[in-house]
Amino acid sequence: MSRVRSDKFTNRAATGPCTFTHGMHSTDTAGTGIGVSLGYGGIVAVGATISGNLSVGGTITYEDTTNVDSTGIVTARNGLKVGQPTAVGATINPAGDLSVAGFATAGVGTFNSIVVGSAITLSSTGLDSLVSINAGGITTVAKLDTSGTLVEAFTSTTTAWSSTNDLNITNGNLHFTSGNLGGTNNTLDIYSTTGINTDLSVGQAINVTGITSANATTAFVNAITIDGIANSVNWVGGTAPAAGGGSGFDTYTFNILKVGNATFHVIGNQVLTSA
């Protein structure tokens, strides 16, 4: 076998690259096989390292690629299909809509955008119905039609509010205690783990309901704090409660509207079940 050894190859005029009319083969470093083959049909390589940019005018097909690791942005101009060709589990079309097989059976259409983190944001006119969702929190839902059963969890304790007056709405907006309320002029502290002032934006509101067992008319709630700070309450009927129920359960509801930074309008209501 003849060999030509050279550090560089150029055309005859030394102004450009060489032309290999019938292609070119190169062996690997061990000389046991073809490392790269350049022919009329394209390039066949056992392995290749490209330090610069690679431009491909046709289609790149990955048959047995386990992972594609990119430190930058991957652009799929005609969309993206996950699971193809055996079973498509998710599709993102060129318009940006996401269709997931598991969502389709739950009655959810396509989305213009989905943001998933500690909370979930759904923004789409295609959100027609939702069977169930379990998330740390929902930021914005453009349209939510709950024509079925709407289930809400509640927090339950045996400790009377006269002993511990904390209502942490991170655990839910409905609180129940089987401990009979004692004392007089009780204050409920309504707060959340991150702070209600942080949770709410100006123009947003929450509804908090507290239900307590009652056995003494002298025991009642007539004030609240929000995030530990005293806040006035506009009571239904015009005056704060001055008595509680002698039996059954007493219910206190508070509509809390955020109108400024750490500034809230609160409408409170007391309902007794005893005669």
Task: Parse the chain into domains and list their residue ranges.
Answer: 80-141, 155-272
Tell me the three state secondary structure of residue 196.
Answer: helix
Alpha-helical runs (H) found in the chain:
101-105, 196-199
Kind of pairing between the strands at 24-27 and 34-39: antiparallel
Question: What per-residue string of b and e applies to 115-150 under the rule 16 or more CB within 10 Å gives b?
Answer: eeeeebbbebeebeebeeeeeeeeeeeeeeeeeeee
Half-sphere exposure at residue 116, Cβ-oriented, CA atoms within 13 angstroms: 5
CA distance 98 to 94: 10
C-alpha angle 27-28-34 in degrees, rounded to nearest 5: 45
- pLDDT value of residue 140: 65
CATH 2.60.120 fits 155-272, yes or no: yes
* Three-class DSSP category at 197: helix
Q: How far apart are CA 194 and CA 259, in angstroms?
A: 19
* Residue in this structure with the two tokens 């509801």, named with its chain if needed: 253
Do the beta carbons of residue 222 and residue 241 sit within 8 Å? Answer: yes
Q: Using 50, 70 and 90 to split pLDDT, how confident is the model at 159? A: very high
**Average pLDDT, integer, range 210-224:** 97
105: confidence class by pLDDT, cuts 50, 70, 90: very low
Q: What mean pLDDT, rounded, does the chain reach?
A: 81
The confidence band for 191, taking pLDDT boundaries of 50, 70 and 90, is very high
- Tokens standing for 77? 């101009």
Confidence check: pLDDT of 19 > 80: no
d(Cα 126, Cα 232) in Å, to the nearest integer?
42
- Is the peptide bond between 241 and the residue preceding it cis, with omega within 30 degrees of 0? no
For strands 113-116 and 120-123, give the pairing. antiparallel
Q: What is the pTM of this model?
A: 0.56
**Residue 196 or residue 57, greater confidence:** 196
Residue-level pLDDT at 225: 97
Residue-level pLDDT at 15: 87
Higher-confidence residue of 2 and 1: namely: 2
Count other C-beta atoms under 10 Å from residue 201's C-beta. Answer: 8
User: What's the pLDDT score for residue 212?
Assistant: 97
Q: Which pLDDT does position 30 carry in this prediction?
A: 57
Lowest pLDDT segment from 14-28, 133-147, 253-267: 133-147
